[in-house]
Structure 1
Amino acid sequence: MTATIIAIPTFRRPERLRQLLTSLARMKVTDDASILIADNDAAGRAGATLAEAVRAGGYALPIEIIIVAEPGLCAVRNAIVETALAHPDMRHLVMIDDDEWPEADWLGELLAVQRRTGADVVGGPVYPHFADRKPGWVRETLVFRPESRPEGATGMLWASNNLLVMRRALDRLDRPWFDPRFGSSGGEDLDFLTRLHEAGCRFAWAPAARVAEWVPADRARLGWVMRRMWRIGITDTMVRRKQAAGAARGLALTGRAVAILAARTVALPMILWPGARRVDVAGQWVKSWGRLYALAGGSDASYGQPAAPVQGET
């Protein structure tokens, strides 16, 4: 294996994976890179089969393929980290999802920002690409709005679908790197990044390290966006609750959630204002209810069976 491992978890999306691999082969900078594909479908193995065929056809970069039999986001991400760390020369683990594809400068930009800043973790923006015609209300929601930050050192990062992590950062965390309690709800990447931040890792942002993400027709709907905001409220609170040791911090977290809901409720009439981001206003209100639901012990099983409640230490 090589200094930079580009890791791709995949599950029953071989055509999207093919497009991603085609894009990766066109990168301007490879920096001694290789690709690690983790297929989370042990029965069908559509991703592994596609990757084997691409590799046999003389692909531009080395490809390693693993099968992760245990279902779930955390299982496949942990298998990726374990496999990558088993290669002593690995210095950068770069994460991208199987329904995305990068611009040609993507890897070069991530590496350049890491070198300039000395950061342990570098993130970049994700731009939506709608499979069908983009709805007119899309500009009103942060769900499909790429993050915009200046290049360089930055605060908290939120997702792992366009991320470079240094080996030294992974070594700061105890196993499992991705907490299985978030396996069916999502939020495992936020918990991972939160723990890295608390371990003293430095974060940076690479605005030119751009990737695009497919948005299928069933996600370009208001109902899906509201469900997504509900889930964000739940998973964000699950992560915060896990970090909130003691009854006092738990009460403070509940008080904060109630205050946010009150503020969002007061702001609801903004939906009627001309030019208001109406979907964001409604979505933030729904997200606030998701926070309270999580604090009451609820979880979301968008990715499988209901997750076990995440409790704060007492």
Structure 2
Amino acid sequence: MTPEPASVSEHARSAGLKPETVRIAVTLPTFRRPDHLTMTLDSLQAQGLGSETAIIVMENDADGLEGARAAADWLQSSHVKVIVIVAHNRGNCHAYNAGWDKALAEFPKLTHIAVIDDDEIAGPGWLSGLMKTGQKTGADIVGGPQVPVFADKSLDGWRRHPVFTPHYLTTGPVPILYSSGNVLISRPVLDMMPRPFLDPAFNFIGGGDSDFYRRAKARGFSFAWSAEAAVMETLMSRRAEFSWLNARSLRNGAISSILEKRQWPGMPGRVRTFAKSLALLAAAPWRGLRLGLQTGSAVIGLYHIQVALGRLMEEFGLVNEQYRNPESN
């Protein structure tokens, strides 16, 4: 990977911020959700953060700047220390990289970076839960559940869909993580991993976090899960629509294929990945039938078929860039 263009600017910062006292940076990417961003910041303030913790808000809409302005207004009346930056290059990987680079450059005694998204609310004891699990297990990277909360409560039944369910249920060491929406990363990981941390090739399809974790695992870093460190993810009604669920499931399949090809490069790897895709497609109807019976939903039962099809579509260059048009996501 080549370095990203230096296209980051600082928009605002809290008065009295003392960088030398900060050991934990909570990085918060945002894109056109100013109202919910404020709610996320409120939930972080409720954590009882002290002077050893600061928040970095990464605005990724350099034209609108709604999130940057909302965060700048919010920090005026908060005791929590905040830096607001603008990642001028569009894409979630650019936003994450900008925040992580800023934290490392700004805070000389930094030990950890935490991540929460601007459509999430931190539960009570969120950050302390991640830290405690990391200390107890010795894991380098700790993740926690993103609990789906539909704005329309009548849609709560869709929480059983695999795109919303957590990968793990109990606290302790795990083989690997998959999402960056609720995670704690230790300083040694950031010092050893090459930059940019998240590959911009994944900017609009997602999966940059999974790719980062795979590369971190290959370097010997360990993972854990903190079931107590939950965030609540606010979901709009469109995420219960078939079109969105189908697009996300196909995308998940495509990402898994891309990551496997990176893990197994060359023609033998492509053949291996394609063979696995065919095997998954063959098994998908039976797996889907079982899932549909378990959840009582034929739509949910389609998930394994959609993932297998997404893998095969990727072989022909058909990958859904679900983040390209945020209004439909």
* TM > 0.5: yes
Aligned-pair distance for 1:183?
1.1
Q: Identify unmatched segments of 5+ residues in structure 2.
A: 1-18
Aligned partner of 2:244 in structure 1 is 224
* Structure 2 CA distance for partners of 1:175 and 1:221, relative to 1, 3 Å: same
**TM-score of the two chains, using structure 2 as the length reference:** 0.87
Aligned-pair distance for 1:269?
4.9
Q: CA RMSD in A?
A: 1.9
* Structure 2 CA distance for partners of 1:282 and 1:11, relative to 1, 3 Å: same
Aligned partner of 1:248 in structure 2 is 268
**Aligned equivalent of 1:66, options 59, 76, 85:** 85
1:119 aligns with 2:139: yes
1:50 aligns with 2:77: no
Deviations 1:115-174 (A, max 9, x none): 111111000001011111232642541122234332121111000000000110112211
Q: Give the residue type in structure 2 aligned to 1:106.
A: W
Q: Identify unmatched segments of 5+ residues in structure 1.
A: 306-314
**TM-score of the two chains, using structure 1 as the length reference:** 0.91
CA contact (8 A) 1:270 1:278 kept: no
Aligned partner of 1:79 in structure 2 is 98
Q: Give the residue type in structure 1 aligned to 2:122.
A: P
Aligned partner of 1:133 in structure 2 is 153
Which deviates more from structure 2 when the two are superposed, residues 121-130 or residues 80-89?
A: 80-89
Aligned pair count reads: 304
1:285 aligns with 2:291: no
CA contact (8 A) 1:4 1:31 kept: no
Aligned-pair distance for 1:190?
0.9
Q: Give the residue type in structure 1 aligned to 2:153.
A: R
Deviations 1:54-97 (A, max 9, x none): 1112x121000111111111111111111111122111000010
Task: State the distance in 2 between where 1:97 and 1:30 align.
Answer: 21
Aligned-pair distance for 1:241?
1.4
Instruction: Give the alignment of 1:140-289 within 5 angstroms.
Output: 140-270=160-290, 273=293, 276=296, 278-289=298-309
Which deviates more from structure 2 when the two are superposed, residues 275-284 or residues 124-133?
A: 275-284
Q: Secondary structure at the match of 1:158?
A: coil
Task: State the distance in 2 between where 1:116 and 1:271 align.
Answer: 35
Deviations 1:210-259 (A, max 9, x none): 10000001112233112111111111211211222121122111111100
Aligned partner of 1:310 in structure 2 is none
Task: State the distance in 1 between where 2:239 and 2:116 align.
Answer: 20
Which deviates more from structure 2 when the two are superposed, residues 133-142 or residues 37-46?
A: 133-142
Q: Give the residue type in structure 1 aligned to 2:163.
A: V
